[in-house]
Structure 1
Amino acid sequence: MEIIQFKDSNIKEIVSLFYETVHSVNAQDYSRAQLYAWASEEEKDTKIQIWKESLNQNIAYVAKIKDKVVGFSDLTHSGHLDRLYVHKDYQGKGIASALVDMLESEAEKCKVLEIDTEASITAKPFFERRGYKVVCTQTIERKGVKFTNYQMVKKITF
């Protein structure tokens, strides 16, 4: 596996990975209506443009195996871990851990005191194993559909 900084040329593969992952991996914890509100095909073209801009502004990494995107993650300069997704066929292989290791290392270099994230029900155990603590359970709404996720935080030690 190779981890590289985000490049614009990876954006379409990243957005496709996002849709596939949400609709397969997260299906164990969310209803069909929630999955479609979270990741609807109609937004794909818009998401490509918006995510290209935000991934270029953030600290963003892409995991590749044999030139195929198998995961990605990004962190704002203020310490918000915005996105972490691993391809549905590559779950449990250490890809998410490798990506978050890179982001946490960058946070340390930038003297960020803590990292926060909004974790799905599916991702919560992963973040807990890495030392993130639940600040609160929250209900968010997208397109009139309600979801549960968790505000989580991890203190960064220098």
Structure 2
Amino acid sequence: MTIEIRPLCAEDFRDVGRIFFCAVHEGTQHAYTLEQRRAWAGDTIDLSRWKDRLTTLAGFIAEEDGDPVGFMTIDRTGYVDLAFVLPSAAGKGVGGSLLNAVEHWAVANGATRLTSAASLVARSFFEKNGWTVLEEEEIDRHGVVLRRFQMQKTLAEGGQ
């Protein structure tokens, strides 16, 4: 298996929508109820929303043997908004490769720390990669409560 990381572009909207939808509906079913997953990701992939959203996001996409399997976004403040990997690619180093790319990008763009609002599932991934929980919170999404964690990682010069 070869994992290639490249910059995310607006044309990736179909793949990003599919990865997000599958990661939420399949990859978090042990942590969130069906009602919570539907509130989070909807009942179908909203391609028009992803097409619009990708015009404003910076980040990276991971490809395994040429097929998109994960993505991660970051802004200039170091906020990681989206971090998703297909369940079939979980545990293969995809998330770590994406996080490494994001960390290097953040340092190159002057960020001194990374922050994120991590899901129950993403929390352990981030913790394994040196992040700490600042606080637990509950948010309302379409009338359904979801638990997540405000997290951060201080960056050393040069990343990681």
TM-score range, shorter chain: over 0.9
Structure 2 partner of 1:103: 102
Structure 2 partner of 1:14: 16
Return structure 1 stretches of 4+ with deviation > 3 angstroms. Answer: none
Q: Report which stretch shifted further, 136-145 or 101-110.
A: 101-110
Q: CA deviation at 1:13?
A: 1.2
**Structure 2: unaligned runs, 5 residues or longer:** none
Q: CA deviation at 1:107?
A: 1.1
Select which of 26, 29, 35 maps to 1:24: 26
Structure 2 partner of 1:69: 68
> Which is richer in helix?
1
Q: CA deviation at 1:42?
A: 5.2
Distance of 2:64 and 2:37 partners within structure 1: 27
Q: CA deviation at 1:14?
A: 1.1
Distance of 2:107 and 2:101 partners within structure 1: 10
Distance of 1:138 and 1:54 partners within structure 2: 26
Structure 2 partner of 1:36: 38
Check whether the contact 2:21–2:45 (CA below 8 A) recurs between aligned residues. Answer: no
1:92-136, Cα deviation, whole Å (9 max, x unpaired): 000000000011011111221111001110111110111111000
Q: Report which stretch shifted further, 34-43 or 139-148.
A: 34-43
TM-score, length of structure 2 as denominator length: 0.92
Once the two structures are superposed, the pairs formed by residues 6-155 of structure 1 within 5 Å of their partners are 6-41=8-43, 44-55=46-57, 58=58, 60-155=59-154
Q: CA deviation at 1:43?
A: 6.4
Distance of 2:17 and 2:136 partners within structure 1: 27
1:64-112, Cα deviation, whole Å (9 max, x unpaired): 1222101100100111011111111110000000000011011111221
Distance of 2:9 and 2:110 partners within structure 1: 25
**Structure 1: unaligned runs, 5 residues or longer:** none
Check whether the contact 2:131–2:152 (CA below 8 A) recurs between aligned residues. Answer: yes
What percent of counterpart residues are identical?
25
